[in-house]
Amino acid sequence: MKKSYIYFLTNKNKTVIYIGVTSNLLKRIYQHKSKQYKGFTTKYNCDQLVYYEEFDDITQAIAREKQLKAGNRKRKESLINLENPNWNDLSEGWLFNI
């Protein structure tokens, strides 16, 4: 079964939290870091992966993404702080030469 993911990206100042969903986390992070698509993450320089969850089914991931997007920033920060209190880029070392 193909895995799916929801993920949070932020910028270097941690002022913006972007939530996305994908079936290929590595590829999607590469796309964000290399700014392949113009949009929210490019505009706000969101390229640091600070949180993600894995699912067995894309419909579960999409449902979770909608749930998280409906929540407030404090709830999103709480999830990040629980798993990644220093807000480190969890994708550090995944990609080279970017």
d(CA 74, CA 80): 10
Cα 54 from chain centre = 11
Is pLDDT above 60 for 17? yes
Q: What pLDDT does 37 receive?
A: 87
**From CA 36, how far away is CA 79, in angstroms rounded?**
28
Beta bridge partners, 94, equal: none
Name the pLDDT band for 34 (thresholds 50, 70, 90).
very high
Alpha-carbon Rg for the chain, nearest whole angstrom, is: 13
> Using one digit for the tens of pLDDT, what is the confidence trace for 79-88?
999 999 999 9
Global pTM exceeds 0.85: yes
Phi first, then psi: give them for residue 9, nearest 5 degrees.
-115, 150
For the segment 41-79, what is each residue's pLDDT rounded down to a tens digit?
A: 999 999 999 999 999 999 999 999 999 999 999 999 999
Domains and CATH numbers, the chain: 4-83 (3.40.1440.10)
